[in-house]
Amino acid sequence: MITNFFIPELNNHDVQELWFQQDGATCHTARATIDFLKDTVGDRLISRFGPVNWPPRSCDLTPLDYFL
């Protein structure tokens, strides 16, 4: 999904400063995924094993699971 949808859509928009954030799910932190994202967004990756470590159970970074 990242290579087939996200990156092409990202290239279609004028995005100067993009921070990519993902949770610590095992499939999201596979070495190939982290390496690809590091090459794509550089040091602006918030993830487990990424340049900016994902704080576990952070209420500030955890998306809401309900609608206000």
* pTM of the complete model: 0.64
pLDDT higher than threshold 80 for residue 64 = no
CA distances from residue 17 to 44, 45, 57 in whole angstroms, order as listed: 8, 11, 25
Residue 28 CA, chain-centre distance (Å), reads: 9
Q: pLDDT of 22-62, one tens digit each?
A: 777 777 778 888 888 888 888 888 888 888 877 666 666 55
Cα 24 to Cα 57: distance, rounded to the nearest angstrom = 10
Q: pLDDT of 12-24, one tens digit each?
A: 887 777 888 877 7
Cα 56 to Cα 3: distance, rounded to the nearest angstrom = 26
Phi, psi of 45 (to 5 degrees): -115, 120
pLDDT higher than threshold 80 for residue 67 = no
